[in-house]
Amino acid sequence: SRDLDGDGPDAPVISISGALQAGMLYNGSVLLENETETPAEVINEEIQEEADEHQFFFQASSDLNADFTYTDSENTYLNNGVSNPVGLTFNLQAGTASSGTFTITLRHEPSKDAEGVSEGDITNAAGETDVQESFDIVIE
């Protein structure tokens, strides 16, 4: 997703490189950049430095057969011994053939100790949404 005018009138440009294959495990990563600056500012660095204050959430619509797991934690970036997830890296397990929406949400200051949050459930996460984008995904 690329949104050069931020909250401006132009919609983000969303690119999908193709369908996922059923039964495959995919390694994913999120790269956030502020392209209004030259050179582009890599926002990931701020998220890593404040890993205890950020968490990405990955949601598949009910018609998309996919599961997500975190592959990083606060400890990955802060070496603080805390295993709360961050989500700059993740795995996506593609299930059977399906299609639906995959939504990525970055929350600032989520309640990481709230029920389900460490497993990626955004329901009780609280905090403020910094970024949210949805992608139409096909699993073949």
Could you tell me if residue 68 is inside a domain?
A: yes
Asked whether the CA dihedral 71, 74, 80, 84 is positive or negative, the reply is negative
Average pLDDT over residues 84-108: 98
**Sorting pLDDT into bands at 50, 70 and 90, what band is 59?**
very high
Domain count, the chain: 1
Could you tell me if residue 78 is inside a domain?
A: yes
Give the pLDDT score at 57: 98
Residue 99's nearest CA partner among 19, 39, 37, 41 is 19
Could you tell me if residue 109 is inside a domain?
A: yes
Give the pLDDT score at 60: 97
Could you tell me if residue 104 is inside a domain?
A: yes
Could you tell me if residue 44 is inside a domain?
A: yes
Give the pLDDT score at 11: 83
Q: Which range marks the domain in which residue 107 is found?
A: 25-139
Could you tell me if residue 59 is inside a domain?
A: yes
Could you tell me if residue 53 is inside a domain?
A: yes
* Pairwise pLDDT comparison (120 vs 11), residue with the higher score: 120
Could you tell me if residue 3 is inside a domain?
A: no
Is pLDDT of 3 > 90? no
